[in-house]
Amino acid sequence: MKAIEVKNLNVSFGNFKVLDNISFDVEEGNITAVIGPNGSGKSTLLKAIMGFIPYKGEILIYGKPNSEQRKLIGYVPQHFEIEKFLPMTVKEFLEFNLTEETLPKKSHLEHHLKELDILNYKDKLLRELSGGQLQRVLFCRALINDPKILLLDEPISEIDIAGQKEFYEIIRFLNKEHKLTILLVTHEITIVHHFATHVICLNKKLVCNGPITLLFKEEILKELYGREIFVYPFNKPLEKNES
């Protein structure tokens, strides 16, 4: 079943074209990495899917227009700015995100806090959390309204290496236990192939779309980044070094 269908998507800011006639599908249950150089339109793609920006083309979520299906999407942003003056606890923050429809599921909150290992932080203030802890809280926020799709925009850019490992474990866990379809914008192509099932290569136009093994094709990465890129350990330059 198709979780996301993007058909002939075009996004422009003034005269500047950011996405040029993009079409692809994401099957339910996939973990899809969206990769590409800076300014290639990766984050714009996520914003278009969520309907945050105007676009031309068609975006369907489970067969219906995205504007009708937004509630099926959970989103973890690249950057979340907390007002420093604001004394808001983790629990309060999460409860504010429960809608009238999901309020009866308030009891699920404790469960999500537990499975993301942040139950101990529930009375901590948001401003006192580390980058990794805040990341988990944002994951929890994305989960409390029972989404079917999780969109992640460079979610590890503000966490340390140890936190990154935990992050990938969470991604796998959510995909497996919550049956979530995951679309993840990332620069970490050397890591992402360990857990993503599919890849979308974007550079304003769609360069590739398919199984994650496409990442190991030098010609694709060269077309995408405009120069020779390799993904450890499947790279030729390293082989040359070893010999």
Partner 1 sequence: MNLEEYLFLLKPLILLIFLGVTYSLLGIFVLLKRLSFFSDGIAHASVFSLAIAYILGLELIPLGILGGIIFSSLIYFLERKTRIYSDALIGLIFVTFLSLGIIIVSFKKGYQPELLNFFIGNILTLSQFDFYLVISLSSLILLLTILFFKKFVLIFLDRNEAILRGFNVNLFEYLFYLILGIATILGIKIVGIVLITALLILPPMSSSLLSRSFKQIVIFSPLISIFNIFNGFLISFLFNFPLSSSLVVSNSFFFFLVFILKLLLKL
Binding residues for partner 1, per CB under 8 A? Answer: 50-52, 70-71, 73-75, 77, 80, 83, 85-89, 92-93, 96-97, 99, 125, 141, 145
Q: Judged by CB, which is closer to partner 1: 19, or 61?
A: 61
Q: In angstroms, what is the minimal distance from the CB of 75 to partner 1?
A: 6
Q: Judged by CB, which is closer to partner 1: 141, or 198?
A: 141
Q: In angstroms, what is the minimal distance from the CB of 85 to partner 1?
A: 5
Q: In angstroms, what is the minimal distance from the CB of 138 to partner 1?
A: 9
Q: In angstroms, what is the minimal distance from the CB of 63 to partner 1?
A: 19
How many angstroms from the chain centroid is the CA of residue 226? 24
**3 state SS of 4:** strand
Q: Judged by CB, which is closer to partner 1: 47, or 193?
A: 47
| Side chain identity at residue 38, one-letter code | N
Q: Say how far apart CA 67 and CA 219 lie, in whole Å.
A: 37
Question: Do 142 and 77 form a contact (C-beta atoms < 8 A)?
Answer: no
Q: Judged by CB, which is closer to partner 1: 52, or 232?
A: 52
Task: Please give the structure tokens belonging to residue 122.
Answer: 């529930």
Place of tokens 């929890």: 140
Q: Judged by CB, which is closer to partner 1: 47, or 198?
A: 47
Q: Say how far apart CA 215 and CA 220 lie, in whole Å.
A: 7
168-177: which pairs have CB atoms within 8 A and are 24 or more residues apart? 168/194, 168/195, 170/116, 170/136, 170/139, 171/31, 171/195, 172/31, 173/115, 174/139, 174/143, 174/150, 175/29, 175/31, 177/115
Q: Judged by CB, which is closer to partner 1: 81, or 242?
A: 81
Q: In angstroms, what is the minimal distance from the CB of 99 to partner 1?
A: 5
Q: In angstroms, what is the minimal distance from the CB of 174 to partner 1?
A: 17
Q: Say how far apart CA 127 and CA 130 lie, in whole Å.
A: 8
